Amino acid sequence: MPFFCAFLVLGFCVTAAALPGLKNEIRQDGAMLNELTALLELQAKTIETMETRLVALETKNDQTLERRLDAINESLSQIPYKPQVAFHVGIHVDTRFTRDAERVKWNRTMLNEGSAYNPRTGLFTAPTCGLYFFSLTTRAPQGFTSYADAELMANRQRLCLVDSYARNDAGACSGVVHLDEGETAWVQSYQAELQGGSNYRATATTFSGFLMDVDW
């Protein structure tokens, strides 16, 4: 019994002696924990600030990009649209005209991009204002002792003329003209009455044209 009591007294003395050290360690640990907590809170605030700035930057970039796209679209909208306009027509059979200024109704359509040429009337109607190129080739049929003269007309004025110098001759002419929307171009017979008729070979007589440039 005396030995057991002595052991308890010794243990209590050791524990009491170590208690101040334990309290000091606990205080140090608590201070360290507070520092870590403050550091984590600071890091959290820093991350939140960075996220806010990132969102603001993304919004600004989106707005800047949107303004640039709007500016590009506005610039593109100022560029006039250039439609695809081109045609190349001929005749199915050899054709004869006995009067002057008879319009040729080209009934063999090889190309009519934009549908500006009308085979029922023989008229090309400008779908937009701009510069147009037109070309005409003629030749008299074989076996005919006649001419193949013709006029290429644009906006009621002669653009060019095929004027043969001999019978069974062939010819070609072309020109550039400005047409407003709705104005027309066509081919008509020339000096048919004076020369006993104008005759056109189907395989060698054509009328062509296309839009070169639109008005700004």
Range of weakest confidence among 3-7, 46-50, 52-56, 150-154: 3-7
pLDDT > 50? residue 106 = yes
CA–CA dist 162, 176 (Å, integer): 16
Q: Would you tell me how many other CB atoms lie within 10 Å of the CB of residue 165?
A: 7
Q: Identify the DSSP state of 209.
A: E
Beta bridge partners of 49: none
CA–CA dist 28, 206 (Å, integer): 105
pLDDT > 90? residue 209 = yes
pLDDT > 90? residue 157 = yes
Range of weakest confidence among 13-22, 121-130, 132-141, 199-208: 13-22
pLDDT > 80? residue 30 = no
Q: What residue has token string 């440039």? A: 213
Burial class (CB in 10 A: 0-12, 13-18, 19+), 175: middle
Q: What percent of the chain has pLDDT over 70?
A: 86
Q: What is the mean pLDDT of the chain?
A: 85
pLDDT > 70? residue 88 = yes
Pick 24 or 38 by higher pLDDT: 38
Closest CA to 168 of 138, 147, 189, 190: 147
pLDDT of residue 77: 77
Say what the pTM is: 0.65
Select the highest-mean-pLDDT range: 15-19, 83-87, 97-101.
83-87
